[in-house]
Structure 1
Amino acid sequence: MDYILRENKKLAKETNINRTIFAACPNSIAVMKASLNSAKRCNAPIKFATTLNQVDLDGGYTGFTPRQFVNKIRQYAKSINLKTPVIIAIDHGGPWLKDRHRKEGLNYEQTMTEVKATFEAAIEAGYDLIHVDPTIDTTLPKGEIIAIETVAARTVELITHCETYRTRNDFPKIAYEVGTEEVHGGLVDLTVFTKFFELLKTGLQREGLTDVWPCFVVGKVGTDLHTTEFDPEVAKTIVGIAAEYGSVIKGHYSDNVTNPEAYPKSGMGGANVGPEFTEREYEGLMELEEIEKQLHNENKVAKLSNIKKSLWNAVIDSGRWRKWLSEGENSDDFYKNSFERQEWLIKTGCRYIWQNHEVVACRVELYENLENNGVKAEQILLAHIERAMDKYFYKFNLINLNDILQERTLEVV
């Protein structure tokens, strides 16, 4: 990751074209496959940003441990003869950022112990980057914001733990990402933003880690869960500050962003996209269900899969839709919320239940019903997701970056 960002910086100076690394949050097997397919077609690096909820020692909601996830990605990449770089990373790794930790009421020591164990497993599995994000503290009184000094100190503690474990076991070097868009205005308060850098620099020096520095720093650039407009002016400001310290800015919540072309123009180093692909996967399944119904009406399908009903039931029964309710919405009765909100909650909540046994069985039945009639079900589904991904590869100026990087590497050799 450090190498690619370094070369991107050189390329920008030589060609006046900035590039933004695209990172997909792999919330389903379909998204994993689509990401690799899109990366191959666009001939560009692909980064996977896995949250602790998605992939962890307990399997997460995808069912994969870090080692299993890496192996599965390698298998899929090999199956399509992928040559482009694949970067695998932890996204939002920190205390209480795993839903189960909050639900079970883990104290600080307990959640930190689990996070450190996950980091160790990721390093051992061959991850390339860890996003260290200790910006949540459930022990604080409601409404109180965690002190930036605490954020910096815990960031140093976690990076130090990773480096100690990595060097002791002779694992390859990894890259780091720090910060979050959800604390202190996403560190957009420029005083706080700069202070965080200084505290981090001093803390790492104190631990003897002068050669370790985060390549990515997450900043709030206008997008969040409910907004899709990227703010290039804010981005340019914090990009400039980060550059003085040798880092680039990463944007999160880039889903469905209306102006993705502004990311590279503003000098953004990377952007994460996740829930958008769950929405596209859901829409793909709805298209397949419509085809299935047509075939059923023609007596070409004996029994409907009822995939939509299965998805809605699974999301509602999981209760995880409550996590995304806005103030004033009904948390007791899902169906008392507006239909528009119901559909949004289902679409975004599907990522939690793709591996639900009933949902998996319905999807298998749906695919079989269609395949028996000559309909390439999975290809149709993946096309929905890949179309969205191709947009980011194109708008982020990543097309054929793989060839460019390979040529530059050969020149150095």
Structure 2
Amino acid sequence: MTKSNGLSIKQSVLNMLKLQDKGRYSTLVGIGPMSSNLLQASFELARDEDFPLMFIASRNQVDKDELGGGYVNGWDQKRFAADIKKEADNVDFKGLYYLCRDHGGPWQRDEERNAHLPVEEAMELAKKSYLADIEAGFDLLMIDPTKDPFQMGKVVDLDKVIKWTVELLEYCENERKKRGLPEIGYEVGTEETNGGLTTTSRYEDFIQRLKVELNKRGLPMPTFIVGQTGTLTRLTEQVGHWNYANAIDLSTMAKKYGVGLKEHNADYMNDETLLLHNPAHITAANVAPQYGTEETRAYLKLVQVEQRLEKEGLIDKASNLHAVLLDKAIRTERWRKWMEGDDTNLQVEDILKDTKLSAEILDISGHYAFNDPEVKREISKLYKNLLANNIDGQRFVIEHIKRPILQYVKDLNLTGLTTAIENV
């Protein structure tokens, strides 16, 4: 569970809320674990800057093999936990880090939603996934039953959301207790704009109704409740309209019930908006595709260096990483979720014929293909060619990923937070 002094994520958040009363405001960053390089970059920064890490994995990214596995490093929950611990040990990280399930629940795997699985079957698969999370030592589970394929495009039905949320949370708590495992935290709510928790009144209505149902069953209140602050990520941009007034209203409401406001889709934010997160009292914000894109960009910069080495006669033959990564990334079709309008229906073969569009889609989706065997081979060739010329390619990639993470660390006042919450 927690990895150093036994401080659970729930206790960490409660301590952060206490620190707010003393004038210390910080916003945790939930990092989408797109690769081992990203893990190493995160641990090195957290070690040096003294802040807690949250690694947020969706079911598409990390899941049981029998449920389809994950596209990131082929991780199931146990391999994910083991590899994260290995990375922490490799950089001598002694602080706090938390394994977090992002968007757990029914229909959260693309194939389950596309197949329009009936609710009973979808809930059963969700429970199997959660059980694997619990057994692997996850610290936070997001309970998100809002991807009902029979309600897509309609206003989110809060009655159903609350019913299914309580059922799943109760299942997880019972399974945790059966195994004598330590306290885990829960995240509930939705960032969906089609009737999600966008207003203070709807947000409080959800909290109050959820609290009643949880109290009836002796279940804990969640650690985080997700609210819509106006964020929206498309392509490689923050295209939403972040709303300070909404953020402070939602965070104040959440704190009244002893929980933290969680913001999703916080990628590609500018410094001005990030700095306003502290006076808005946002407890945590998720960032995922941005860091994957930064790793892709690092590889493409190294490819340019490698091509120059070949031109200068310093290597025999450059890798074919650019072409292979581009082809594989586009064929994943996972980029569709970041597109808008008619672009969501673009055909793969048409994209491959369009140099400009191909480059754009590679930028947003290269990380979806990092685990492809051919891509791995080309990265290995790239590193070898660079190393023969005294260039440490992997170190460059890690340092490149650190740049945007460090921006969030500094703007969101994370430096020294671990020490602060441990000493509340």
- Name the TM-score class by shorter chain: over 0.9
Rounded Cα–Cα distance in structure 2 between residues aligned with 1:288 and 1:281: 11
1:173 aligned partner: 183
1:350 aligned partner: 366
1:81 aligned partner: 92
Of 299, 307, 326, which residue of structure 1 is paired with 2:340? 326
Of 386, 390, 397, which residue of structure 1 is paired with 2:413? 397
Give 1:326 shift: 1.9
1:228/1:399 CA distance change after superposition, 3 Å = farther
Corresponding residue SS for 1:217: strand
Rounded Cα–Cα distance in structure 2 between residues aligned with 1:39 and 1:218: 24
1:29/1:104 CA distance change after superposition, 3 Å = farther
Mapped pair 1:262 → 2:272? no
Give 1:372 shift: 1.6
Conserved? CA contact 1:135–1:146, under 8 Å:
yes
| TM-score, length-scaled by structure 1 | 0.93
What code does the residue aligned with 1:191 have? S
Q: Where in structure 2 are the equivalents of 1:222-241 lying within 5 Å?
A: 222-226=230-234, 227=239, 229-241=241-253
Corresponding residue SS for 1:131: strand
Conserved? CA contact 1:228–1:254, under 8 Å:
no
Conserved? CA contact 2:199–2:246, under 8 Å:
no
Rounded Cα–Cα distance in structure 1 between residues aligned with 2:380 and 2:281: 43
Rounded Cα–Cα distance in structure 2 between residues aligned with 1:190 and 1:100: 34
2:26 aligned partner: 19
2:16 aligned partner: 8
1:221 aligned partner: 229
2:130 aligned partner: 119
Of 304, 307, 323, which residue of structure 2 is paired with 1:293? 307
* Residue segments in structure 2 that go unaligned for 5+ positions in a row: 1-8
1:65 aligned partner: 76
Residues 387-407 of structure 1: CA distance to partner in whole angstroms, max 9, x if unpaired?
11111111111102223334x
1:132 aligned partner: 143
1:239/1:375 CA distance change after superposition, 3 Å = same
Mapped pair 1:149 → 2:152? no
What code does the residue aligned with 2:200 have? L
What code does the residue aligned with 2:50 have? N
Corresponding residue SS for 2:85: helix
Q: Percent identity?
A: 30
Residues 212-233 of structure 1: CA distance to partner in whole angstroms, max 9, x if unpaired?
0111111111111232553211
What code does the residue aligned with 1:97 have? Q
Mapped pair 1:190 → 2:195? no
What code does the residue aligned with 2:99 have? I
Give 1:276 shift: 0.4
2:254 aligned partner: 242
Rounded Cα–Cα distance in structure 2 between residues aligned with 1:316 and 1:9: 43
What code does the residue aligned with 1:230 have? W
1:39 aligned partner: 46
RMSD: 1.8
Corresponding residue SS for 1:271: strand
Give 1:44 shift: 0.9
Conserved? CA contact 2:106–2:147, under 8 Å:
yes
What code does the residue aligned with 1:120 have? L
Residues 349-404 of structure 1: CA distance to partner in whole angstroms, max 9, x if unpaired?
22321101111111111111111211010110111111111111111111022233
Give 1:254 shift: 0.5
2:210 aligned partner: 200
Give 1:338 shift: 7.5
1:256/1:295 CA distance change after superposition, 3 Å = same
Give 1:339 shift: 6.1
Residues 245-286 of structure 1: CA distance to partner in whole angstroms, max 9, x if unpaired?
111111111001122111122000001100000111011001
Of 51, 58, 64, which residue of structure 2 is paired with 1:51? 58
Conserved? CA contact 2:50–2:417, under 8 Å:
yes
Give 1:296 shift: 0.7
1:110 aligned partner: 121
Corresponding residue SS for 1:49: strand
1:344/1:247 CA distance change after superposition, 3 Å = farther
Residues 88-146 of structure 1: CA distance to partner in whole angstroms, max 9, x if unpaired?
10001121111121234422222211111111111111111001111111123x53223
1:261/1:121 CA distance change after superposition, 3 Å = same
Rounded Cα–Cα distance in structure 1 between residues aligned with 2:280 and 2:288: 22
Rounded Cα–Cα distance in structure 2 between residues aligned with 1:341 and 1:204: 49
Conserved? CA contact 1:230–1:257, under 8 Å:
no
| TM-score, length-scaled by structure 2 | 0.91
What code does the residue aligned with 2:267 have? D
Conserved? CA contact 1:185–1:220, under 8 Å:
no
Conserved? CA contact 1:57–1:118, under 8 Å:
yes
Corresponding residue SS for 1:176: strand
Of the structure 1 ranges 328-337 and 367-376, higher mean CA displacement relative to structure 2 is found in 328-337
* Residue segments in structure 1 that go unaligned for 5+ positions in a row: none
1:96 aligned partner: 107
Conserved? CA contact 1:134–1:154, under 8 Å:
yes
What code does the residue aligned with 2:63 have? D
1:115/1:334 CA distance change after superposition, 3 Å = farther
2:329 aligned partner: 315
